[in-house]
């Protein structure tokens, strides 16, 4: 059972297989690695590394983005940390990542496991449904979110008014700074949970039937099977999803921007929104680049931390 989930054992085997065969083999191996990595690196080299380098360079400049750059040193960064919008964005990004890992991932596991374990006439077609919300472009998702939560014409407030549910019709989903974040988060959960579900489903279905049969003989059935057998097997995919959640939160832009423009006040502002507003609306391209660098470095730091933790875990197993 361990071998299917083992993350480093196989790789170690691959390494051993490669190196044990002497020099000519080694040369072939290197060529193969190079050929495999080349296309991916080629794309990135042309279309990513130059923009990344530009971002780092401009973050040290005063620039409106229209040319005419002057050296700023770390001035843009220093000012960022005195900018309440940026600080609010930073805070929201972390709480967003925290809550998506805490809510979206367990929910996704629950749904993915149920859909793969309880296969019957109803759950079969349901598999189609769960990714449906993720297919739509975010402009449409935002539009649907407004139809649901708008105070005047939204379906919730319309129903609440009709039924005289004042507790519901009194909630200002977008305008109350304490609630707006959660409104946006609900809309995001509605659409973004599709990917973890479909990904975990694919991973759970990779589990060989023998494991399930063996587990049943041992008496691990139903939710005990989910908890003791399946969850440990998908813990590595879950970690990858956690990385994706974190980096996704750091970059988060279009959905909250289209729903609330980051408001009211700074209640739903994210780093992505601050970046866009600084770069494209305020013409502070240097500051926007500094935010881009912050997003980049934080993503890198979290990913490295996550992967090295996972590697240690893998080695100790």
User: For residues 240-269, which are near another protein according to CB under 8 A?
Assistant: 240, 243-244, 247, 250-251, 253-254, 260-261, 263-266
- Residue 157: Cβ within 10 Å count: 21
Do 63 and 69 contact (CB within 8 A), yes or no?
A: yes
CA atoms of 154 and 150, how far apart (whole Å): 4
SS3 70: strand
Instruction: Pick the binder of another protein from 202, 214, 235, 305 (CB under 8 A).
Output: 202
Mask: binding to another protein, 55-94, rule CB under 8 A, as x and -? x--------xxxxx---------------xx---------
Q: Which of residues 286-305 bind another protein (CB under 8 A)?
A: 288-289, 291-292, 295-296, 299-300, 303-304
Classified as helix, coil or strand, 93 is helix
Q: Is 316 in the site for another protein (CB under 8 A)?
A: no
Cβ–Cβ under 8 Å, residues 199 and 237: yes
Shortest separation between residue 262's beta carbon and another protein, angstroms: 8
Among 23, 24, 153, 316, binds another protein (CB under 8 A): 153
277 touching another protein, by CB under 8 A: yes
Residues in the interface with another protein (CB under 8 A) total: 143
Q: How far apart are CA 246 and CA 15, in angstroms?
A: 31
Of the residues 73, 106, 177, 232, which one makes contact with another protein according to CB under 8 A: 177
**Joined tokens for residue 126:** 């349901």
Query: How many degrees, rounded to 5, is the angle at CA 258 between CA 142 and CA 103?
Result: 60
Stretch that binds another protein, among 69-77, 90-98, 190-198 (CB under 8 A): 190-198
Min separation Cβ 293 and another protein, Å: 9
Q: Is 123 in the site for another protein (CB under 8 A)?
A: yes
Burial of 96 (0-12, 13-18, 19+ CB in 10 A): buried
Does 96 contact another protein by CB under 8 A?
Answer: no
Residues 203-222 that bind another protein (CB under 8 A): 203, 205-209, 212-213, 216, 221-222
Radius of gyration over alpha carbons of the chain, in Å? 24
Comparing CA positions, the residue from 237, 232, 212 lying closest to residue 306 is: 237
Closest approach of Cβ 94 to another protein, in Å? Answer: 16
- Choose which of 91, 102, 136, 163 interacts with another protein (CB under 8 A): 136
Residue 34 or 102: which CB sits closer to another protein? 34
24 forms part of the interface with another protein (CB under 8 A): no
- With residue 317 as reference, give the H or E element that holds it: none
Cα distance between residue 154 and residue 193, in whole Å: 23
Q: How far apart (Å, rounded) are the C-alpha atoms in residues 174 and 157?
A: 12
Q: Beta-carbon neighbour count of residue 33 at 10 Å?
A: 11
CB of 99 to another protein, least distance (A): 18
Query: What's the CA gap between 158 and 148, in Å, rounded?
Result: 9
Work out how close the CB of 23 gets to another protein at its nearest, in angstroms, rounded to a whole number: 15
Nearer to another protein, 80 or 111 (CB): 111
Among 1, 75, 190, 231, which residue interacts with another protein (rule: CB under 8 A)?
190
Contact between 306 and another protein by CB under 8 A: the answer reads: no
């Amino acid at each position: 059972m361990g071998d299917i989930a083992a993350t480093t054992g196989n790789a170690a085997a691959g390494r051993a297989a490669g190196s044990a065969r002497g020099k000519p083999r080694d040369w072939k191996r290197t060529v193969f690695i190079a050929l495999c990595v080349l296309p991916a690196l080629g794309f990135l080299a042309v279309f990513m590394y130059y923009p990344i380098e530009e971002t780092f360079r401009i973050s040290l400049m005063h620039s409106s983005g229209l040319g005419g750059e002057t050296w700023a040193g770390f001035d843009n960064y220093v000012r960022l940390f005195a900018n309440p919008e940026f600080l609010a964005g930073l805070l929201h990004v972390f709480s967003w990542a925290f809550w998506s890992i805490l809510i979206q991932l367990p929910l996704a596991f629950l749904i993915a496991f149920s859909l793969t374990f309880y296969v019957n006439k109803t759950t079969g077609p349901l598999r189609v449904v769960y990714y449906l919300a993720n297919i739509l472009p975010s402009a449409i998702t935002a539009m649907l979110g407004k139809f649901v939560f708008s105070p005047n014409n939204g379906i919730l407030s319309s129903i609440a008014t009709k039924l005289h549910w004042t507790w519901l019709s009194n909630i200002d989903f977008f305008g109350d700074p304490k609630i707006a974040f959660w409104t946006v988060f609900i809309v995001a959960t509605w659409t973004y949970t599709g990917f973890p579900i479909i990904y975990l489903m694919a991973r759970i279905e990779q589990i060989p039937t023998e494991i399930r049969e063996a587990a049943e003989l041992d008496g691990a059935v139903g939710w005990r099977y989910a908890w003791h057998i399946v969850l440990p097997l998908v813990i590595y995919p879950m970690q990858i999803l956690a990385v994706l959640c974190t980096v996704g939160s750091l970059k988060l832009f279009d959905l909250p921007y289209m729903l609330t423009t980051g408001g009211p006040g700074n209640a739903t502002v994210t780093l992505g929104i601050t970046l866009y507003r600084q770069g494209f609306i305020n013409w502070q391209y240097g500051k926007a680049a500094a935010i881009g660098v912050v997003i980049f470095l934080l993503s890198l730091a979290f990913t490295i931390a996550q992967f090295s933790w996972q590697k240690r875990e893998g080695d100790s197993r």
